[in-house]
Amino acid sequence: MEPREDVFPLPGPWSLSYEDPETGKPHRIPAAVPGNVELDLVAQGLLPDPYQGKNVQRLGPYETVDWTYETRFDGIEAGEDEIELVFAGVDTIADVFLNGEKVLRCENMFLEHAPDVTGKLNAKGNVLRVEIKSAVLHARTFDRPSGLFAQPYNYEHLHLRKAAHMFGWDIMPRIVSAGLWKPVFLRRRPKTRWTEWALAVRGATPSRADLLLDWTFTTPARRLDDFRAVFTLSHGGVAHRSEFALRFTTGRQAISLPSPALWWPRDLGPQPLYEARLELFQGAALRHEQVWNVGVRTVELEQSFKRPDGAMGDFRFKVNGEPVFIRGSNWVPADAFHSRDPQYVARNLELFRASGCNMIRVWGGGVYEDHAFFDFCDRHGLLVWQDFMIGCELPPMDDAFAAGMAREAAQIIKKLRHHPSLALWAGDNETDAFCTWSGQKPSSNRITREVLPRALSQHDPWRPYLPSSPWLTDELAKARKDNGGPEQHLWGPRDYYKGPFYRDNTARFASEIGYHGCPSAGSLARFLSEDKRWPWQDNDEWIVHAAEPVDARGPYAYRIGLMAKQTRELFGKTPENLADFVFASQIAQAEAFKFFIEHFRIRKGEKSGLIWWNVVDGWPQFSDAVVDWYGTKKLAWWWIVTSQRPVCLMLDELRDWGCELVAVNETPARVSGAARVRRLGESAPLWEGRYAIEGNGRSSCGRLGASWGEQAIFVVEWERGGVWEANHFVMGQPPFSMEAWKRWMPELKKIHGVDSDPFAG
């Protein structure tokens, strides 16, 4: 929940000035704020839609352009208060001038900037000018020590605090954008006000919760004799109220909350939210208050590299002391143009919820999400794994960069630490793993081993921290074991999804794993030119949407051929028309995700969860996402919904002439009922019996006789609370017949509740 402030939006209109990169001709056009400069050019007909065909490649010349935003606005009365000019997000290198006076320098797109402009505003006609410099040209002013590394298109990003994906990634196009990507407004604040507030849960049981309230306030008053605070927690009535004198401008209060309503991840319990209210009084006058939501819960990460017996170590989340099996997915940016993120965040979060996820990992190549994102997760019991925004790179270690990262971390931590859904801070994405390829020691990373831990110890010491994902020791890195720890990113050869790499993985927890699937034919028609929809071979538009920024020789272009190889792996041949290609690719993806999720869930206890890649695209592309940018669901979506049910029965892979039937339960109550297994298209059961599972447990229900020589689909059905649910299992070795799959598909769609055509779109 945002702190309560007096906020005054700047109504505009805004203008945008720049010089054409080809002709040098000056332009001045209307601008949208929040916005991205490229979208303003599209709105004026100066650029085509970047998401169509190869149009995104036309943005390259604009990377070296400087941009100037300008608007006029009337001032507001300050009275006894202070006025801030707030830029919620500036992308990225900018100088801000108010009535000709420079009031701000911006060098970080992730942060809010709020210069004090008290006494600087005219009653009428204030002129605000924001000069944004080319991020690419700014990057050229830095030297890169040879020890720093990045992905092929991202070296110029190393010194910049800007979303890494903008420079080119395998899931996003290269769009090195610029703009005022978040709102700009005036904020009036009292001079006597809270400046920091935090409520930490130090312990929580059904009988009692131990809380720590920290606060800091500022005031022009020299004496504090008549200052006091009132703190209340309310949930269906006042649960706690305390009043205490403020003898200093900062302090801490211990609070004991009897019989708390505990906050749980989804399926394990409810998500009650207390309203916390912290009031600042001077005498009888209420000077300021802060109001936010609180979820009373504890969160732990149990991690070790090795168990005492020498086996692979542990990686397991616990909430309120209870182990949580993680069924999660990775969050990628909602749109390549971040000013449009709010249009899609709510839709995308609902997809996470509806797919059965209980955790979201906010990936380190994007941006930090706002309170609306976390409020949704708080309400729906979605735990959040939050990366700091460093991805697949070893960033600078100099004092200036470290100081900037410390400022960034402090602001982001203090902004988000109130949310009960926030379960983990992670230092970066895959930098430790990249050290195995570059010969660097992960422990030498000053940012993740020194700067970020120090910021967390100061501002959020109660929440778990993971230095990198995956986190490696120097010994593992030296041995080039980028998946040597208990938490792993399982990409590998991306061959047959039941092959040795996936089947025999040693991970206790997988924080990335995925498999490509072609979008529907209807979606392809929306972003590919008519003459480029087929064939896939040597198709430059398919490669652009792979997303490869350069050409067929670039490092990401292989992903188109990868889809073709994966269909050949499953069906023994590559489809010769678009309809069959979409059909075969989506089946391969759906079965892969089903196997990944169920392989981990069947081994609950030995394994503790997975965060697959990923729910939904951030632009139209060929990818691992199971929902494309237009919101069209691929077949894998429905397979995942079934595999992620909190109570699910699944058949394990064939061993010793049979498949074990396993039941898992991620609810707190014991569950039991009748169960049976039949062959698809037949009604007679091959096996029938009962299942019973304790709360948050796993049990073996029996074995189904089978052999490798049979290709068939078995249907697993079970009764829960008077309702029958179903799952399926594919028996046998590839290649499979595509014609057989076409016969099987109508009944499979009924089993999984498929309510639209994932192939045609």
As a whole number, mean pLDDT of residues 637-644 equals 98
Strand runs labelled E in 44-141 = 67-73, 82-87, 93-98, 101-106, 126-133
Please give the pLDDT value at position 5: 61
As a whole number, mean pLDDT of residues 347-366 equals 98
As a whole number, mean pLDDT of residues 70-97 equals 96
Q: CA quadruple 391, 392, 393, 394: dihedral positive or negative?
A: positive
Q: What is the pLDDT of residues 191-209, one digit of tens each?
A: 999 999 999 999 999 999 9
Q: What is the pLDDT of residues 539-586, one digit of tens each?
A: 999 999 998 998 888 999 988 999 999 999 999 999 999 999 999 999
pLDDT above 70: residue 105: yes
Please give the pLDDT value at position 553: 87
Q: DSSP labels for 163-217?
A: -GGGG-BTTB------B--S-EEEEEE-SSEEEEEEEEEEEE-SSEEEEEEEEEE
Q: What is the pLDDT of residues 525-536, one digit of tens each?
A: 999 999 999 999
Structure token digits, residue 252? 């801490």
* Overall size of the chain counted in residues: 761
Please give the pLDDT value at position 158: 97
Please give the pLDDT value at position 1: 39
pLDDT above 60: residue 3: no
Band of the pLDDT at 2, cuts 50, 70, 90?
Answer: very low
Nearest CA to 467 out of 490, 487, 438 is that of: 487
Give the integer Cα–Cα distance in Å for 326 and 601.
Answer: 9
Q: How many other CB atoms are found less than 10 A from the CB of residue 684?
A: 8
Q: What is the pLDDT of residues 220-229, one digit of tens each?
A: 999 999 999 9
Structure token digits, residue 630? 């237009």
The secondary structure element, H or E, covering residue 584 is: helix 578-602
Nearest CA to 713 out of 573, 563, 590, 549 is that of: 590
Q: How many CA atoms lie within 13 A of 74 on its CB side?
A: 4
Q: Judging by DSSP bridges, how do beta strands 383-387 and 422-426 pair with one another?
A: parallel
Strand runs labelled E in 457-508 = 465-466, 487-490
**pTM, whole model, 2 decimals?**
0.97
Please give the pLDDT value at position 413: 98
Give the integer Cα–Cα distance in Å for 624 and 585.
Answer: 11
Q: Fold for 646-752, please state it.
A: Immunoglobulin-like (2.60.40)
Give the integer Cα–Cα distance in Å for 623 and 518.
Answer: 7
Band of the pLDDT at 382, cuts 50, 70, 90?
Answer: very high
Q: Contact, 533 vs 579, CB < 8 A?
A: no
Q: How far is CA 227 from the centre of its chain?
A: 42
Where exactly are the structural domains of the chain?
A: 6-187, 646-752
Distances (CA, A) of 124 to 73, 84, 87, 104, 120: 7, 17, 21, 21, 12
Q: What is the pLDDT of residues 166-186, one digit of tens each?
A: 999 999 999 999 999 999 999
Q: What is the pLDDT of residues 484-505, one digit of tens each?
A: 999 999 999 999 999 999 999 9
Band of the pLDDT at 369, cuts 50, 70, 90?
Answer: very high
pLDDT above 80: residue 334: yes
Q: Contact, 647 vs 671, CB < 8 A?
A: yes
Nearest CA to 523 out of 626, 640, 642, 638 is that of: 626
As a whole number, mean pLDDT of residues 232-260 equals 96
- Which of the residue ranges 4-13, 226-235, 356-365, 694-703 would you say has the lowest mean pLDDT? 4-13
Q: What are phi and psi of 571, to 5 degrees?
A: -115, 0
Distances (CA, A) of 358 to 286, 650, 692, 753: 40, 19, 23, 21
Band of the pLDDT at 277, cuts 50, 70, 90?
Answer: very high
Give the integer Cα–Cα distance in Å for 298 and 630.
Answer: 38
Q: Contact, 520 vs 760, CB < 8 A?
A: yes
Band of the pLDDT at 708, cuts 50, 70, 90?
Answer: confident
Give the three-class secondary structure for 510. strand
Q: CA quadruple 508, 388, 433, 398: dihedral positive or negative?
A: negative
Give the integer Cα–Cα distance in Å for 710 and 152.
Answer: 46
The secondary structure element, H or E, covering residue 151 is: none
Longest dimension (CA), the chain: 86
Give the integer Cα–Cα distance in Å for 347 and 350.
Answer: 5
CATH of domain 6-187: 2.60.120.260
Cis peptide before 735 (omega within 30 of 0): yes
pLDDT above 80: residue 113: yes
Q: How many other CB atoms are found less than 10 A from the CB of residue 336?
A: 29
Q: Contact, 138 vs 95, CB < 8 A?
A: no
As a whole number, mean pLDDT of residues 670-693 equals 97
Please give the pLDDT value at position 201: 97
pLDDT above 60: residue 744: yes
Structure token digits, residue 574? 């590559």
490 DSSP assignment: E
Residue with tokens 């017996």: 309
The secondary structure element, H or E, covering residue 636 is: helix 635-643
